Amino acid sequence: MTATTARLATVIARSIAPRRPPTVSAWADENRILSSKGSAEPGRWRTHRNPPLREPMDCLSARSPVRDMVLMFPIQFGKTEVLSNGLGYTMCENPGPIMVCLPSEIAMMKWVAQKLTPMIDECPAVKRTLTSVASRDAANTRTFKDFDGGQLYIEHAGTPGRLKMTSVRTLLVDELDEFATSLSSGDDPVAMLDGRTSAFPATFKRAYISTPGIRGISRTEQLWEKSDQRRYYVACQDCGHEQPLQWSGLHWTPDGSQCWYVCRHCGVLIEEHQKTAMIAGGKWVAENPAGTIRGYTINCLYYQLGLGPRWLDLVQMFRDAQNDPAKLKTFINDRLAEPWDDPAMRAVRHNLIADRAEPLPLRPVPAWVLALTVGIDTQDNRLAVHLLGWGRGMTCWPVDYIELLGDPSETAVWDALTDLLLRPVDRIDGATLRLDAGLIDIGGHRGEAVKAFVRRRIVRRLLAGFGATANNAQVLGKGKLVDINWRGQSDKRGVHIHQVGTVAIKHLLYSWLSADADKDPEHRRIRFSDQLSQEYFGGLVSETYNPAKNRFEKKRGGPRNEPLDTWVYAYAATHHPELRLHRWTKADWDRRESMLLARTSSPKSEATHEQTAQDDADSKAGIHGQRRRRPEAKRSSFATNY
């Protein structure tokens, strides 16, 4: 077959092949015209002007396998345009019954006047699909449009009757969090809306689009928690590390006259003018791949230049809202697209936490504890040691908090630490636990002593780390070699220093403590023994978050914060690359539990052998992310017993 014949055959095949409908973004680029009545940039729609909208829009395409989608977006980011483009595409390319639902009659009428009518007037492709454009025709009313192959219903959630007796294939819901908690009939509006698509079990599409409301009762947040939780990752222009832009990563001068973003990996300063190229090369990343629906969230830092407030404007808004809870709630919801934490729900006081302590001994630990990590803080005259037990779902049991007195520049305190960490911890059922991982603070005046101890590798999986400067740093950063060999090259068997995302971990701890307030003991994320001291509880919540300075600060005249710092380090140790406790599946927890139970019936003389078997089994199961290092040739007696 000649080249000409081949090209001719290709042309004929394409001409007779069934037409594949385009994606929503491709249809919008070709057909959508923005009206000056509702757009800051009237004219032809350009998806590349706001790249993060492309993937959410394409989920509404006929070819997309996505059925349910939630968008937790800030205001003025284009979330309503996603709905409008999906509507226009469906009418033109994938016709069928479709419903657009808004929270109230007023909101519905505004949407018709500002979005729907201008789209019909400005987009010939949409207008051609309507069977009638006469204002007095029953096929063309404000809340109902008949078009070729389908019908458009425009409803609001103000009354139950508007959400009944209609079957649709496509459901588009705007401003979900503005919906009433329940209808006058007692029905749940979201459940009723979901039921409208039950006649199309294989082809339905549902999209819920909204800014979030109050944490715990926000419907958008509830859907987001069930989703695969996609965030828009962009690459740092200096180191190439991909990360989502977070408000905690934005820094500004005390007077708010200048601001910049800090890469959480390399700490380089990122100016706002760089974000255009970063966003253009970004991508959506699912942080919860096990989610049952598709979910997207983004914040105000992604506003394209000319399409929203500048970073400095946002900083000023944030600063102005500090003494006004109503303004701050509006900023958190509308600009950061995050649920608002009611201050009454966020109160974390040491006396309230101490009241949750259970009448149980610190040791032996409860039978649900399956793993151990340790966090160690270094002071000039002592070592603060916090041993944490972990169970399924990262449930935490503080096993002990101990301060070992002694100058870390001397060997005595390190010998005491070695003895403490290599000592097994008994469970109430007779099983024994050994330390899985630990992290020790290398900051302060005793950094060289810390490196010397870690370099000996007496305690397995012991990392050296320090609190990261960037507020948005990840929980445990990639280790950097600090030792060099005789050739002046990095010593691969030397000490690795890791950055710890202290701010993120403290936010996590405080959120757990807040959420535990009204829960029964067996359902709490952190459970305490009443044998812990009042100083411990005071130190655990000794810092408060100052939003004006975007950092945690120690309470004036309050207790020492070592219990908090060591809890942070012990949690970071769960992210050790050879452990990754936070990513254990049910099978991983089951495997660990079965091993521990098997050891209860084994002779004590076989403990070392069975501990090695446990490590090998964990590695084969994929629990450990890296190959274990070969032990050093010379070890202390503690290492031999271990």
3-state secondary structure of 288: coil
Q: What is the CATH number of the domain that holds 482?
A: 3.30.420
Q: Is residue 307 domain-shared with residue 449, that is, in the same domain?
A: no
Asked if the structure places residue 534 within a domain, the reply is yes
Asked if the structure places residue 82 within a domain, the reply is yes
Residue 296 is given by DSSP the state E
3-state secondary structure of 82: helix
Structure confidence at residue 163 (pLDDT): 76
Structure confidence at residue 12 (pLDDT): 73
Asked if the structure places residue 630 within a domain, the reply is no
Contact assessment for residue 55 and residue 228, using Cβ atoms and an 8 Å cutoff: no
Asked if the structure places residue 631 within a domain, the reply is no
Q: Is residue 327 domain-shared with residue 186, that is, in the same domain?
A: yes
DSSP string, 98-130: EEEEESSHHHHHHHIIIIIHHHHHH-HHHHHHB
Q: Is residue 507 domain-shared with residue 574, that is, in the same domain?
A: yes
Of 590, 604, 596, 615, the closest CA to residue 460 belongs to 615
Cβ count within 10 A of residue 630: 8
> What is the domain count for the chain?
2
Angle between helices 24-31 and 79-93 (to 10 degrees): 90
Contact assessment for residue 571 and residue 509, using Cβ atoms and an 8 Å cutoff: yes
Q: What is the CATH number of the domain that holds 153?
A: 3.40.50.300
Distance CA 56, CA 89 (A): 14
| Helical (H) or strand (E) element with 432 | strand 432-433
Structure tokens at 237: 């222009």
Q: Is residue 552 domain-shared with residue 423, that is, in the same domain?
A: yes
Q: Which domain holds residue 316?
A: 24-233+284-334
Asked whether the whole model's pTM tops 0.85, one would answer no
Of 616, 637, 631, 633, the closest CA to residue 461 belongs to 631
Asked if the structure places residue 185 within a domain, the reply is yes
Distance CA 385, CA 408 (A): 13
Structure confidence at residue 182 (pLDDT): 59
What's the gap between Cα 150 and its chain centre?
Answer: 39
Of 242, 246, 221, the closest CA to residue 233 belongs to 242
Q: Is residue 326 domain-shared with residue 356, that is, in the same domain?
A: no
**Last residue within a domain, chosen from 334, 367, 400:** 334
Of 588, 578, 592, 582, the closest CA to residue 629 belongs to 578
Distance CA 431, CA 369 (A): 10
Structure tokens at 583: 């990513």
Structure confidence at residue 1 (pLDDT): 59
Give me the amino acid identity at 481: L
Cβ count within 10 A of residue 259: 18
Contact assessment for residue 477 and residue 269, using Cβ atoms and an 8 Å cutoff: no
Q: Is residue 312 domain-shared with residue 365, that is, in the same domain?
A: no
* Summary mean pLDDT of the chain: 86
Asked if the structure places residue 240 within a domain, the reply is no
Give me the amino acid identity at 194: D
Q: Is residue 496 domain-shared with residue 589, that is, in the same domain?
A: yes
Q: Is residue 52 domain-shared with residue 152, that is, in the same domain?
A: yes
Residue 48 is given by DSSP the state G
Residues 109-128 as b/e (b if ≥16 CB within 10 A, e otherwise) read eebbeebbebbbebbebbee
Structure confidence at residue 183 (pLDDT): 64
Distance CA 154, CA 169 (A): 14
Structure tokens at 115: 């979005």
Q: Are strands 43-44 and 33-34 parallel, antiparallel or unpaired?
A: antiparallel
Residues 446-462 as b/e (b if ≥16 CB within 10 A, e otherwise) read bbebbbebbebbbbbbb
Structure confidence at residue 136 (pLDDT): 67
Q: Is residue 462 domain-shared with residue 318, that is, in the same domain?
A: no
Of 544, 576, 393, 412, the closest CA to residue 478 belongs to 576
Q: Is residue 402 domain-shared with residue 489, that is, in the same domain?
A: yes
Residues of the chain under the 70 pLDDT cut: 1, 13-20, 135-136, 181-186, 342-348, 547-550, 601-642
Q: Is residue 327 domain-shared with residue 358, that is, in the same domain?
A: no
Residues 525-546 as b/e (b if ≥16 CB within 10 A, e otherwise) read bbbbbeebeeebbbbbbbbeee
Asked if the structure places residue 319 within a domain, the reply is yes
What's the gap between Cα 33 and its chain centre?
Answer: 35
Q: Is residue 304 domain-shared with residue 355, that is, in the same domain?
A: no
Q: Are strands 496-500 and 462-467 parallel, antiparallel or unpaired?
A: parallel
DSSP string, 515-531: HTTTS-GGG-SB--BTT
Asked if the structure places residue 617 within a domain, the reply is no
Structure confidence at residue 638 (pLDDT): 27
Structure confidence at residue 259 (pLDDT): 95
- Residue 285 pairs with which residues in a beta bridge? 231
